[in-house]
């Protein structure tokens, strides 16, 4: 049997190891998780026992999923296997005691060391036995611990996708348990802000179509008067609190790409339970504006009664384009009037919205980050469907994991305060026309690069399987937080000097080393700096 010890940034295929970086040790802080991989090959078909004497080690099988080919004319060359279609490793499934090894092919095993602050600083041997073979990885725990996470991070949570995939009724006991399971996994991987569906979010929805109703606010209409019930919203907040979620991201109150219509809103009326607003609604008409004016003070009262005012942000409309300027401006003006004491943030790439004062807290696509850096009061960034070019970071399945992890260093370099992504668990095709099986269809019906729409997979028991990409994204958050801690100790200027040492060009969104060894060594150096007495 042949066993190779690899960094977490490698990708192992049956016929080859890509981004191959062999290691014999790992470095982490006392309360940090850190991962590595094993690539195992046997001359025979065998079922091998796998175990470790380290109680802080979790072992996962890496399951392959299909990825669709990316057109070379639309992307750069920083992809694995030339971004061809085929099966790529991504799903992480916990190993009980055995792994299957087929003759003559590489089998990947993911290992995650989680000391959880329970071990003293020092060096530890992680011994792993596979069949009759034994390997040892040295863990170096530095005498330092992470503070509370400073980065605010959201990956949009789609509870309607969970209800659809598992075939459970929205707001049933089964629904709430699955939602809590997926929230818990999100928090465990640095996602500390949750998209909260006051009304069914008007995101990635076909014009004239609708997504399953998941609105948390009950509405009763009598003529032009409305009353509101917040019991479901309270349960959502309580569930999020149990999971450790820190912030609530109130769902958009206008449709995506233009703010021209209202989201789908269901209500009890004299004619029964029905939709009272949606694509047919003029966003700026008297009817919807009247609704929002009645809704806003009641929602704010609920927020204050539950003590979460400092934990809430609001959205107007997602990704407005220049042609939407006047429509968005009207909507944003009413949002400011009604929710002026809260941050109002939207993903956008066009500087004009901020320059003209229409958007106070834009969340910029990382492709446009240079336009906003140093000018906005609080810099946030996101990526979505793109970028595919200029070596910009992203998390597509066919990308090297280095391209996902470098985001942490890049965000620190730009002094980013928050990160947003639209797909934590989007299990629909584009425009939410149908549900998909993420294990067999990773590109949302052939419309997005594989892996764009989710980073977790639905396990049979209603919990979330994680992915290589989510684990490495969490490592990127750790990199960011380690640099923030170092800044507190020695200042930002000296921290940037350490980050950019020996580089011809300071790290930016497009330029950074494409070396797994460089990143691993740099993080080890940062860890050492955190423990040096000034």
Q: How far apart are CA 372 and CA 101, in angstroms?
A: 50
Q: How far apart are CA 435 and CA 425, in angstroms?
A: 12
**SS3 call for 158:** coil
Domains, the chain, ranges and CATH?
A: 2-146 (2.60.40.10)
For residue 385, report the phi and psi dihedrals to the nearest 5 degrees.
65, -30
Specify the pLDDT at position 96. 83
Q: How far apart are CA 449 and CA 17, in angstroms?
A: 22
- Give the residue ranges of the chain where pLDDT is below 50: none
Q: How far apart are CA 81 and CA 74, in angstroms?
A: 16
| Bridge partners for 250 per DSSP | 196, 314
Tell me the pTM. Answer: 0.97
CA 78 to chain centre: 21
Provide CB contacts within 8 A for 196, sequence distance 6+: 216, 233, 236, 237, 240, 248, 249, 250, 251
For residue 10, report the phi and psi dihedrals to the nearest 5 degrees.
-80, 160
492-500 and 516-531 helices cross at what angle (nearest 10)?
150
Provide CB contacts within 8 A for 141, sequence distance 6+: 28, 29, 30, 115, 119, 120, 121, 122, 123, 124
The rounded percent of the chain whose pLDDT value lies above 90 is 98
Specify the pLDDT at position 534. 53
Q: What is the pLDDT of residues 285-331, one digit of tens each?
A: 999 999 999 999 999 999 999 999 999 999 999 999 999 999 999 99
């Amino acid at each position: 049997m042949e066993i190779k010890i690899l960094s977490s940034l490698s990708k192992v295929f049956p016929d080859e190891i890509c981004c191959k970086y062999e290691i014999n040790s790992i470095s982490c802080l006392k309360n940090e998780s850190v991962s590595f991989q094993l690539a195992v090959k046997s001359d025979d078909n065998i079922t091998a026992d796998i175990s470790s004497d380290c109680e802080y080690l979790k072992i996962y099988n890496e399951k392959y999923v299909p990825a669709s080919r990316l057109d070379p004319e639309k992307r750069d060359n920083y992809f694995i296997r030339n971004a061809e279609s085929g099966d790529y490793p991504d799903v992480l499934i916990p190993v009980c005691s055995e792994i299957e090894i087929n003759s003559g092919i590489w089998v990947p095993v993911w290992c995650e060391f989680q000391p959880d602050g329970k071990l003293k600083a020092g060096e530890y041997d992680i011994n792993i036995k596979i069949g009759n073979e034994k390997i040892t990885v040295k863990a170096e725990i530095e005498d330092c611990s992470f503070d509370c996470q400073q980065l605010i991070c959201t990956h949009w949570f789609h509870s309607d996708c969970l209800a659809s995939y598992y075939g459970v009724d929205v707001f049933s006991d089964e629904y709430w348990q699955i939602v809590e399971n997926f929230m818990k996994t999100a928090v465990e991987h640095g996602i500390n802000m949750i998209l909260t569906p006051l009304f069914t979010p008007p995101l990635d929805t076909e014009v004239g179509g609708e997504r399953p109703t998941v609105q948390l606010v009950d509405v009763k209409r009598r003529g032009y008067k409305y009353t509101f019930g917040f019991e479901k919203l309270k349960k959502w907040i309580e569930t999020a609190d149990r999971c450790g979620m820190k912030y609530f991201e109130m769902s958009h109150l206008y449709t995506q790409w233009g703010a021209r219509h209202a989201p789908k809103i269901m209500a009890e009326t004299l004619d029964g339970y029905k939709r009272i607003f949606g694509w047919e609604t003029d966003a700026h008409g008297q009817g919807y504006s009247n609704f929002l004016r009645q809704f806003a003070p009641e929602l704010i009262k609920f927020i204050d009664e539950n003590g979460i005012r400092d934990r809430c942000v609001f959205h107007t409309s997602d990704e407005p384009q220049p042609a939407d300027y006047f429509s968005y401006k009207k909507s944003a003006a009413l949002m400011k009037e009604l929710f002026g004491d809260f941050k109002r943030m939207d993903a956008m790439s066009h500087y004009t919205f901020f320059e003209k004062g229409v958007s106070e807290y834009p969340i910029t696509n990382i492709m446009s980050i240079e336009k906003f850096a140093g000018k906005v009061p609080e810099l946030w960034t996101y990526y979505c469907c793109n970028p595919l070019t200029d070596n910009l970071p992203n998390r597509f399945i066919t990308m090297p994991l280095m391209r996902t992890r470098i985001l942490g260093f890049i965000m620190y370099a730009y002094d980013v305060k928050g990160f947003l992504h639209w797909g934590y668990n989007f299990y629909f095709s584009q425009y939410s026309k149908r549900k998909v099986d993420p294990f067999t269809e990773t590109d949302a019906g052939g419309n997005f690069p594989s892996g764009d729409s989710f980073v977790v997979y639905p396990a049979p028991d209603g919990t979330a399987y994680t992915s290589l990409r989510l684990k490495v994204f969490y490592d990127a958050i750790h990199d960011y937080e380690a640099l923030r801690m170092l800044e507190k100790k020695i200042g930002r200027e000296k921290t940037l000097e350490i980050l950019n040492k020996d580089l011809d060009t300071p790290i930016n969104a497009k330029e950074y080393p494409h070396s797994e060894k460089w990143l691993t060594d740099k993080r080890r150096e940062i860890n050492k700096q955190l423990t040096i007495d000034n």
